Amino acid sequence: MPETASGARGEITRADVDRASATAADGARPAGRRVALTPTQRMIAARLSESWRTVPHITSFLDVELDALVAFRAEQETRISATAVFIAAVAHAASVHPIVNASFHSDASEVEYHDACHVSVATQTESGLLVPVVRDAGEKSLEQIERELTDLTERARHGRLTRADGEGGTITLTNIGRGGIHAGTPIISPPQVAIVGVGSSVRRPVVRGEAIVPGLCCTVDASFDHRVIDGMAASGFLRSFGDVLEDPRTHLS
């Protein structure tokens, strides 16, 4: 007779079944621990979940060559990071395609076009992902962008950002290539309508004239709010962004 039978005449009761099920479930649960999210992580989780539920994302991809960008950076009198060039490229492409540098207010069915391009830069820290803002990126030199980016990044990693440092962004940049990632499908941060990602750089065969030669390349991607940005506008913006990376001397000098 089963040891779990507790009925008056030795029969198995509903309580026996429930108790056995609970014991089996406890035994199948892997050992581990649960950790509460930090306030920053909870906020990010809530915002990204809302974005994924409510914003119809379209993501486009473009392969670009980076040899000219590497040479351009080497020519600068001061050190300019690749991320600083990406910020400048986002601002330039947004000036050509202003619909991307906008906010969508769904409650009023209105698109707000921004006069200035304030680039939110995704920054990984020990406390989670933070997104400080490089303001007026389209009006600043590469040296100014680099100094501001360095300051924001350092303060982000040491927990010294203020609330104001992360407010007012009009478009987001994420340099996923720093983690060795080839490409991704980044999630938009409403009310912004676009986010740009840059993948890792690798040597690939490229065609130049009649020759096939090794070239340093990467894949850039961007997600757009399809309620505001159609396919032509999305591809136009991403192509303009890629043009800056492939010929920075023309667009950024």
Q: Which of the residues are catalytic?
A: 226
Strands (E), the chain: 57-65, 102-105, 110-113, 119-121, 123-125, 128-130, 133-134, 171-174, 194-198, 202-208, 211-225
Q: How many CB atoms lie within 10 A of CB 195?
A: 26
Query: CA–CA separation, 88 vs 139, rounded Å?
Result: 9
At which residue do the structure tokens 């391009």 appear? 117
Cα end-to-end distance, the chain, whole Å: 87
Query: CA–CA separation, 169 vs 192, rounded Å?
Result: 8
Mapped onto helix, strand or coil, the DSSP state of residue 68 is helix
Query: CA–CA separation, 137 vs 145, rounded Å?
Result: 7
Alpha helices, H only, 119-207: 142-157
